[in-house]
Amino acid sequence: MGAFSQIRNAMVFAFAPPAVIELGQAKGFDFQLLDRGGLGHARLHAARNQLLGLAAQDPVLTKVRPNGFEDVPEYRVDVDWEKAGAMGVPIASIHNTISAAFGSAYVNDFIQGGRVKRVVAQADAPYRMLPKDLEKLYVRNQVGRMVPFSSFASGHWTSGSPRLERFNGFPSVNLLGESAPGKSSGEAMQAMEGFVNQLPPGMGFDWNGLSYQERQAGAQAAPIYAFSIFVIFLCLAALYESWAVPVSILLALPLGVIGGVIGSTLRGLPSDVYFQIGLLATLGLTTKNAILIVQFAKARVEEGMGLIQATLEGAKLRLRPIVMTSLAFGFGVMPLAFAGGAGAGAQKAIGTAVLGGVVTSTFLVTLFAPLFYVLIQKTFTQRKPRQETALGARNSSVKESNE
């Protein structure tokens, strides 16, 4: 990049290819700045420069650059369509004449010496070099007469993009960039979205390529977590044939998530998709530890033991299995947490989240899962006798009335 920055006649950037081939052009994010309010090319270009200035000052972003051509001088031809219509000159004839004279137009083929050759019509080189050569053109009108081009059209110099850039029907400017070392692509994309709010009203944005796929995948995180917790609840409700026991177990789920979040934060790891996978594994481990205590306590309560006494005994007796399974799981993911080499980023994210969840779920669940179970059971068992008492009083009143 230092060597390329010394080139004065061009902007040269070095970048890695995208992670998924054909989903973008470079590594990082693919950002589209849109002119949704129809402000014009000049305002869009100014907003692009303002956005690039804001991105250059943000420590989360790096290598933010425009992916396109700068404005170049161009000659604009203004056609007075009312005059052209009054002279009987069709629009198609005007376009075809300019295109054939200054570009070229394919006419037909002919055979010469046994070879097929093309006939291409074009103005001779001396007559298509300058803008004033447009005044020498004639266009045939609907009655066959030749009308001079200068009688209904004029031109002037201006500047603009050498290509027509549109995205979803809006004028757009494509920007590419990457996240700074130690920052995730999601943080970089969030920073770019925040900068758009500082632009003039009427400017919008959209994501393209791999960035669009990342945004879609990120929006599915909350429904996936909610569905996972819902499936755990249904399985526990079917296992224990109770609505109270699953609630007491689900209350322990945040105790394992806390460890995963703390572990990733201390190591400076981003909240990416691998971290979310690790949290899903942590949810299962936390549920397992809570089940070991609750299931034992529930069995003792059904045998006639007191609720608090059964819960305390379950916490004491099931501590060893909880510690053994947690140690086995923790040592199993430890190589992932301290991995190195190719693909180490994904392995560290998953291993750190799971290892942190193992630590907190082992200690906190052992302390709080019995408390949650006792509170939930007392809450549900207090309501049940009241309902039974009210039902019994109603039956007795009905019996007295019958007598």
Structural domains of the chain sorted by starting position, each given as residue range(s) with its CATH number in brackets:
4-67+164-217 (3.30.70.1440), 73-160 (3.30.2090.10), 221-393 (1.20.1640.10)
Rounded Cα distance, 338 and 324, in Å: 22
pLDDT in tens, the chain (403 residues): 788 888 888 878 787 777 777 666 777 888 889 998 888 888 888 899 999 999 888 888 888 888 877 888 888 888 998 898 889 999 989 999 889 988 888 989 989 888 999 999 998 888 888 888 888 889 998 888 999 988 898 888 888 777 778 888 898 988 888 888 878 788 888 888 888 888 888 898 888 887 887 777 766 777 887 888 888 888 888 887 888 888 888 888 888 888 888 888 888 887 777 888 888 888 888 888 888 888 888 888 888 888 888 888 888 888 888 888 888 888 888 888 888 877 787 888 888 888 888 888 888 888 888 888 888 888 877 554 444 444 444 444 444 444 4
- The pTM for the full model equals 0.59
